[in-house]
Amino acid sequence: MRGLICILMAMTMLVSACGKQPKLPWQKSQPKFAVVDWQKLMKDHPKYKELIVSGESVENVMRMRDRQLQMGQQQLNLLSRMKTFKAQGKQKFQRAEFAAKMAEQEAIENDRFKKLQQAAGEEVEGQVAKDRANVEESFRLPILNLRMKLQSVKMTKTARAEVLKELDEVMKAKQDALAGVENKKQQLINEKLSGEYKAAQDRLNAFAKQLGEAGPGGSSVAEVDGKKVDVKEGSDELDKLIESMDKQIRIKQETHDKILDNINSDIESAIKKVNLQKKYVLVLRDVRTNISATDITDEVSAEVKKIAN
């Protein structure tokens, strides 16, 4: 009897390594699996365009908020350096103006450097793409085998816990390997941009030399065009404005999340409805590996449209 059990377990592991399940003696029929392309189902959903628009709306408001905060802080920094313009004269104003112009120039250089980083990232991607693909391929079969083991109806609680632990370890090893690829990519980018970084620093130094030396500044009250301006009061107004914009972001984000939840709920309901008819043992989403399963994406998409409409 023990010999028969060992033979059956060996057959199960051998077929699992090939990505298929055997028809065991005590099974009446081979389990049926199905897969769906979740991204395609989302794109086919009637509310997908609404989801995209809401997402863009959230991003636009966030950009406006960040831009407003940056501009407000620059203005407050300028005011804090002016130190009662009328009392201390033109020299203090020039120093404050210097600080504002330097901040503006630094922002320009930062934007330029970000674009260079993006371009460099695209250039070096080809050098690490193969490494990333090798990592994915090396972990594909071990992960698939472990996941197929978890589908065994005869697995004990202890054995299942051991397989889950092994799967967690393999997934962590995969993440570490992919992180190593990304670190390599960042090193290549840094090497490519080292000269650009020095050039940016040289341009900033030249710009500072052209403007002249800056002196210390900062006080609560400044005077501009004959009018006294309280920096603290301006800071409070900026905080109120940012708080209002944060509220708008939360509202728009909640709307976006609600649409996304509705889409996912419709897809899940459609999958359940299709599965009631077809009786699949397991329905998997966004499968990357080659397994023996039926693609029911189109059937689910048709049901989603019925549910959504």
Shared domain for 241 and 306, answered yes or no, is yes
As given in the structure block, the two tokens for residue 207 are 């710009």
Shared domain for 203 and 301, answered yes or no, is no
283 φ, ψ to 5°? Answer: -115, 120
145 falls within a domain: yes
Residue 21, pLDDT > 70, answer: no
Shared domain for 59 and 132, answered yes or no, is no
Predicted confidence band of residue 127 (pLDDT cuts 50, 70, 90): confident
User: What's the pLDDT tens digit per position in 90-99?
Assistant: 566 667 778 7
CA torsion angle 237 242 244 249 (round to 10): 170
Predicted confidence band of residue 287 (pLDDT cuts 50, 70, 90): low
Predicted confidence band of residue 78 (pLDDT cuts 50, 70, 90): low
Least confident interval from 64-73, 166-175, 176-185:
64-73
Q: Coil, strand, or helix at residue 83?
A: coil
Q: Residue 243 has what pLDDT?
A: 80
Strand partners, 282: 33
Residue 89, exposed/middle/buried by CB under 10 A (0-12, 13-18, 19+)? exposed
Predicted confidence band of residue 160 (pLDDT cuts 50, 70, 90): confident
95 φ, ψ to 5°? Answer: -65, -40
The answer to whether the Cα torsion of 83, 84, 87, 92 is positive or negative is positive
Residue 84, pLDDT > 70, answer: no
Pick the last residue of a domain from 165, 190, 218: 218
Q: Residue 88 has what pLDDT?
A: 54
Q: Residue 230 has what pLDDT?
A: 56
Shared domain for 118 and 213, answered yes or no, is yes
With helix as H, strand as E and coil as C, how does 126-145 read?
HHHHHHHHHHHHHHHHHHHH
As given in the structure block, the two tokens for residue 283 are 């329905």
How large is the average pLDDT for residues 77-94?
Answer: 57
How large is the average pLDDT for residues 207-227?
Answer: 56
Q: Residue 299 has what pLDDT?
A: 86
36 φ, ψ to 5°? Answer: -135, 145
- Residue written as tokens 């299942």? 160
Predicted confidence band of residue 17 (pLDDT cuts 50, 70, 90): very low
Q: Coil, strand, or helix at residue 279?
A: coil
Shared domain for 94 and 199, answered yes or no, is yes
Chain-centre distance for alpha carbon 113? 21
18 falls within a domain: no
Q: Residue 175 has what pLDDT?
A: 92
Shared domain for 115 and 204, answered yes or no, is yes
Q: Residue 234 has what pLDDT?
A: 63
Predicted confidence band of residue 290 (pLDDT cuts 50, 70, 90): low
Q: Residue 261 has what pLDDT?
A: 92
295 falls within a domain: yes
Q: Residue 6 has what pLDDT?
A: 31
Shared domain for 192 and 288, answered yes or no, is no
Residue 82, pLDDT > 60, answer: no
Domain that holds residue 168: 85-218
Q: Residue 176 has what pLDDT?
A: 92
Q: Residue 169 has what pLDDT?
A: 92
Q: Residue 69 has what pLDDT?
A: 75
- Per the prediction, the chain carries an average pLDDT of 75
Predicted confidence band of residue 233 (pLDDT cuts 50, 70, 90): low
Residue 172, pLDDT > 90, answer: yes
Shared domain for 35 and 159, answered yes or no, is no
Chain-centre distance for alpha carbon 66? 19
Q: Residue 12 has what pLDDT?
A: 33
Shared domain for 232 and 214, answered yes or no, is no
What's the rounded Cα separation, in Å, for the pair 108 and 178?
Answer: 33
Pick the last residue of a domain from 173, 196, 218: 218
List of E strands, the chain: 33-36, 221-224, 227-230, 282-285, 294-295
Shared domain for 141 and 242, answered yes or no, is no
Shared domain for 214 and 92, answered yes or no, is yes
53 falls within a domain: yes
Question: What's the predicted TM-score (pTM) here?
Answer: 0.40
> How many structural domains does the chain have?
2
- Residue written as tokens 């004959």? 226
Pick the last residue of a domain from 177, 195, 218: 218
90 falls within a domain: yes
What's the rounded Cα separation, in Å, for the pair 36 and 25?
Answer: 30
Residue 254, pLDDT > 50, answer: yes
295 φ, ψ to 5°? Answer: -85, 110
How large is the average pLDDT for residues 118-139?
Answer: 86
114 falls within a domain: yes
* Inter-residue contact 102 to 217 (CB < 8 Å): no
| End-to-end Cα separation, the chain, in angstroms | 58
Predicted confidence band of residue 2 (pLDDT cuts 50, 70, 90): very low
1 falls within a domain: no
CATH number for the domain spanning 50: value is 3.30.910
241 falls within a domain: yes
Q: Residue 29 has what pLDDT?
A: 55
- Residue written as tokens 């970000």? 114
Shared domain for 275 and 155, answered yes or no, is no
